[in-house]
A and B are shown apart, each in its own frame.
Chain A
Amino acid sequence: MNAESQEPPSGPAASSEATGPSSAGPAAPGAGRRSFLRGLAGGVAGGVVAGGAAGYYSRNIAPGTDPAAAANEAAVTGRLPAVPFHGRHQAGILPPPSRATAVVSFDVTADDKASLTELFQTVTDRARFLTAGGTPPPVGIGGPPSDSGVLGPTVVPDGLTVTFGVGSTLFDERFGLASSRPARLTAMQPFPNDDLDPAQCGGDLILQLRAGSTDTVLHALRDIAKNTRGGMQVNWRIDGFVSPARPTGTVPRNLLGFMDGIANPAVTSASDMNSLVWVQPGTAGEPAWTAGGSYFVVRLIRMLVEFWDRVDVFEQELMIGRRRATGLPLDGTTIDSVPNYTLDPTGDVIPLTAHIRIANPRLPKYNASRILRRGWNYDRGIDSVGDLDMGLIFTCFQQDIERQFKAVQTRLIDEPLTDYISPFGGGYFLALPGVTGPSDYYGRALLA
């Protein structure tokens, strides 16, 4: 894990594999192609009017208002503006973590390539509508309402992004896609300190929803699930949140009490993004359709917070390499200070085993292993001895899982922090290239 994150690389703990339960056998005979959409379409109007709400939000912010205050107000009230859906890359990858997220793995139950294509088109259509907002169609007396109403009569965009990806099991024999498998996509194999639960690992598909508030995320999840019923089935799921920066600043804390996410490659640097995040056209061995996508690692990491809370703060800081109260590196005077390991070769200040030091040794030879790290806290009840089940949804985006995430995570094997964390789920995926316009859909170049 990485309670820190800052360093470019930072890897969380490792992972697993875990075969997603989906390798499934041959599709069901008998009933023919599964028309998981027909039922819905049959009864009522299928269309929606999108886009109506976007202007509403901007109008709520009076001219002259302090933009930061307005953004904060918007976040608090769940009125973030729409994030444009169309683009070369998916829109949910580069922005800093939003307040609320859900990470949901699905297995495909559609039984042939045509049905799979229909599924991807439906996910695209729903994502396009939900991210823009608008009013769902009335159904008259023809059936139950087309929308859950969770966001009120008009769906607000609230900064929703939908990040959709594929796992290695999608490229088995079911859909004839074996020859299109992304070159760097494998199942997640466990690292030495992992405790992976197969039921919470892998999956044919991954969907990450992010928005300004939880109701927006859950509304989107229900909408997408309802409209794709029969085509895919939830495999595992986790919800997460980002805390406000405390006491001030921009860096939120994780549930170990440390600021998390301090350092990352600059998302504004096209060259960094092209060398670290996006699959480039013409990459050796990669099928052409993957260009513009990004390898997406998800690691679900329990934090043993009761144990952690019984540890002296200085020991905590030595494990992390930063001060808990301020986030400063142990050798630094500002939160952005770059640790100077050359001056500290024996770890008298920042121990050689500190998380930030292993994760990012700050040497040029490790630059290519940097990842774009995105972390969310999760909190979901208790375990069998009554301890709290909470921790980190570690996600990262990169061009090459082997070169980046796995290299970082391999360095972190046996770091002292491993005693206080327990990776239990997640998977490796490829976030698909972006949907470029109204007639495009997720995975078109893969499926066409």
Chain B
Amino acid sequence: MRHRRLAAVACAALAAGLAGCGGGPAAAPADVITVSSDQCGGSWHVAGPGWHTFEIASQGEGGAEIDLIDPASGGVYAEIENVGPGTTTPMTVDLGSGPYAFLCLFSDFDPELGAKVTVPGHAKGAAAIVPLTNGDLIPYAKKYQAYTEAGLKVLAAETATLAADVRHADLAAAKRDWLTAHLQYQTLGAAYGTFGDYDDQIDGRADATGVNSPQWTGFYRLEYGLWHGQSVTVLTPVAATLAKDVSALLAWWPTQQIPLLDVGLRSHEILENALQFQLTGHDDYGSGTTLATTLANIAGTRALLTLLHPLLAPRYAGLAAVNSGLDLLQSLIEKEHRPNGAWVPVSALPTSTRQAIDAACGAVLQSLAPIASITEPRNTAIER
């Protein structure tokens, strides 16, 4: 599982000349904020609003997370994770006028709220984001799990049909039903290990094994065979194995818990994979349907965003851009769906069309990126 951590702004040896570490020209000299398991910053003050860098010096005995929050709402302005004992780490913030407080979370200790400090004046600083707790996210993870389970049930029926097509030597039907089933799988957001080893079995690429290896199984293996004239004899066990593996995944899935961090990460990772493997044509093993796969990935992303909407709406101003970006990407791709049902392989797209699609995908990914940070579960949230 990918581990996402906000990058702390490191500011080592900032040399001469620059006033505060990491600060802009107006930045004041850095203040040292000492934290430990029994004091969270002590008293501190700043002269006024603007960019400010605090040097967070930990004298605790274990790891800690230190936040600067709005004590009224619990909203977080800045966060440093994994602060080790004896370390000093800068925290740079654009302070506005109003109340601030440090919140210290040392391992094995209760959260401790530091002194409430009011920054004078009437300036507006960066906005705080009200963090999400595990408790906030659990119901959404459960819903996502249920969405996926329902999708897997559909998939299991589709792969059974596909296996029967091949077994009955109806390869025209098999090609049609292969696409239906593969798109269904791709709406489920299997990016980055959601399905563990099952994903390798069901949708693995040939990169590691080569296309002739018996170790290579799943949708792409079957695609390769169907579109490269392989025989029914060869493909029947391939299709049967795929159906069997999907059934096994369906049985396994309800026993799993989606890591809460993953719910937000998927919101951009599904399309990151589409850009890397589908829009490049990398995962075209003969059918030329990677644009259709990208549409399935858009649908999977939308499902997740719809689910998360109540959490995102109050926290992310870029949500409208996400939705219009997905609309644009989808409309550009749908134009490449021929009236006869065929898809244009990306390698056959005119340069200008390909540029438009790639640009739209890049733009929507950029706007999706903050969601993972915003929906990261934080144990720093104050009980409200």
Contact = CB atoms under 8 A, between A and B. Distances in A.
B370 A43 contact: yes
Interface in A28-42: 28-32, 34-36, 38-42
B234 interface: no
A interface: dominant SS: loop
B352 A22 contact: yes
B317 interface: yes
Contacts of A199: 351
A107 interface: yes
Contacts of A32: 324, 328
B17 interface: yes
A141 B18 contact: no
Contacts of A31: 324-325, 327-328, 331
B120 interface: no
Interface in A42-69: 42-45, 48-53, 55-57, 59-60
A233 interface: yes
B367 A39 contact: yes
Interface residues of A, number: 56
A226 interface: yes
Contacts of A55: 17
Contacts, number: 195
Interface stretch (A132-140, A181-189, A371-379): A132-140
A57 B18 CA distance: 10
Contacts of A44: 126, 370
Contacts of A43: 316-318, 367, 369-370, 374
Contacts of B359: 36, 109, 229-233
Contacts of B92: 135, 138
B82 interface: no
Contacts of A154: 11, 14, 18, 22
A144 interface: yes
Contacts of B126: 44-45, 137-138, 140, 142
Given A28-B332, A44-B370, A141 B79 contact: yes
A282 interface: no
Given A21-B351, A21-B352, A49-B51, A230 B360 contact: yes
Interface in A123-170: 134-135, 137-145, 149, 153-154
Interface string B339-366: 0000000000011100110111011111
Contact of A38 (B7, B51, B320, B358): B320
A39 B373 contact: no
B376 interface: yes
Interface in A217-248: 226, 229-233, 235
Contacts of B23: 49, 52, 135
Interface string A93-136: 00000000000000101000000000000000000000000110
Nearest to B325: A39
Nearest to A22: B352
B362 A144 contact: no
Contact of A24 (B7, B316, B352, B369): B352
Contact of A141 (B17, B331, B373): B373
A57 to B, nearest CB: 8
A306 B350 CA distance: 36
A229 to B, nearest CB: 4
Nearest to A137: B94
Interface string B190-206: 00000000000000000
Contact of A28 (B128, B131, B331, B365): B331
Given A42-B367, A135-B22, A229 B318 contact: no
Which residue of A39, A42, A51, A56 has the most chain B CB atoms within 10 A of its CB atom?
Answer: A39
A442 to B, nearest CB: 19
A50 B356 CA distance: 33
Nearest to A143: B370
A260 to B, nearest CB: 33
Contact of B366 (A39, A107, A235): A39
Contacts of B362: 229-230, 233
A51 B374 CA distance: 30
16 contacts: A21-B351, A24-B356, A25-B352, A28-B360, A34-B360, A43-B370, A48-B24, A109-B355, A140-B79, A140-B93, A143-B373, A144-B6, A144-B370, A153-B11, A153-B22, A229-B359
Q: Which 4 A-B pairs have the closest CB atoms?
A: A42-B318, A39-B367, A49-B24, A230-B363
Given A56-B15, A57-B17, A140-B78, 19 more contacts: A23-B352, A34-B360, A38-B320, A39-B321, A39-B363, A39-B364, A42-B317, A42-B370, A45-B94, A49-B24, A52-B27, A53-B18, A55-B17, A140-B128, A141-B373, A141-B374, A141-B376, A145-B9, A229-B363
Interface of A: 21-25, 28-32, 34-36, 38-45, 48-53, 55-57, 59-60, 107, 109, 134-135, 137-145, 149, 153-154, 199, 226, 229-233, 235
